[in-house]
Amino acid sequence: MKSVRKAILAILALLFTFAAFPATGIPVAQAQPGIYIPLWMQPNTVIVYDANLNYTVIQGGELSADDLVGRWDIEAVGLTSNVPDMLARPNIKVEYDLHGFHQNIYYPKPGSPGEYQLSNPIRSRYLSGIMADGTSTGDYGRYMNYDTGSYQYNRLTRSGDVITGTGRITFFTGPLGEAGTHTLVKYDCATKMKVADIKGGTTITAENTYADKSRTFKKWDVGTLNTAILDIWSDSNYNAITELSTTGIVDNVYSGYVSIPVVNY
């Protein structure tokens, strides 16, 4: 079954060019050869890939054709995002949010089978980088803004000694940050690799511009952040995203703004 699913995904990646699933009419982004991580699943789904890029559903499940009926959010965003950061990689874990939208990619923790970390293990060998002054990521990670009822993109821009960003703020789990060198605690956060890998411990300001909420966090990790501008740490005891989310529940921030000081290691 896994091999059949993998084959189907590969065929779709080669054949669909802004096409639509016949039964849904929902757009599928232009694909490049490869196996891409699904952009949507059932709410709160967790999947794990094996060494051959077959995935197993650990929690939740896949969407059926019936699940897509009436899903205006999926229709607006599209079913797939075939960009390099969304390519499946061996042994990663992927989490989805309460709407079933892609949230985080976790990488195997070196030397600890069955354990995961937000940062790519290569981060333990060198710092992933900070964007140059005067540059921007451009629009990335199209997502549904449930505050406004329309889709939008994430964007990070550096001007002088500050990186600012607008978009989605998410949350992640795991005991250790900074490639296993820092024990994560309440109000820690992660920034985007290769773009805002600033010095650990730097204070970052995050806002929900729709709900007029703000709070500061400490940068102590980095992640892929394919569909977000900031990731806030949480555990089973407390999720600090509730202090920023529009409704005050465990949900992402969809009208987010961040101010990230550029502090080098």
| 184 and 59 in a common domain | no
Check pLDDT > 60 for residue 2: no
Provide the residue range defining the domain that includes 211. Answer: 122-261
Where residue 130 sits, what CATH number does that domain have? 2.40.40.10
Give the list of residues 6+ apart from residue 66 with CB closer than 8 angstroms, or none. Answer: none
| 127 and 86 in a common domain | no
Residue 151 in domain: yes
Residue 114 in domain: no
Asked whether the beta carbons of 195 and 130 are under 8 A apart, the reply is yes
pLDDT digits (tens, 9 = 90+) for 204-243: 999 999 999 999 999 999 999 999 999 999 998 999 999 9
Total domain count, the chain: 2
| 137 and 96 in a common domain | no
pLDDT digits (tens, 9 = 90+) for 185-205: 999 999 999 999 999 999 999
| 142 and 82 in a common domain | no
| 231 and 144 in a common domain | yes
Check pLDDT > 50 for residue 25: no
Spatial distance between the Cα atoms of 264 and 100, rounded to a whole number of angstroms: 36
Residue 198 in domain: yes
| 84 and 40 in a common domain | yes
pLDDT digits (tens, 9 = 90+) for 68-95: 999 999 999 998 888 888 999 999 999 9
Tokens encoding 141 = 């990670």
pTM to 2 decimal places: 0.86
| 220 and 96 in a common domain | no
Check pLDDT > 50 for residue 20: no
pLDDT digits (tens, 9 = 90+) for 32-46: 457 999 999 999 999
What is the band of 182 on the pLDDT scale with cuts at 50, 70, 90?
A: confident
The whole-number average pLDDT for the span 155-174 is 97
| 163 and 223 in a common domain | yes
Asked whether the beta carbons of 107 and 95 are under 8 A apart, the reply is no
Residue 235 in domain: yes
| 130 and 85 in a common domain | no
Predicted local confidence at residue 31, as pLDDT: 39
Q: Give the DSSP letter of residue 265.
A: -
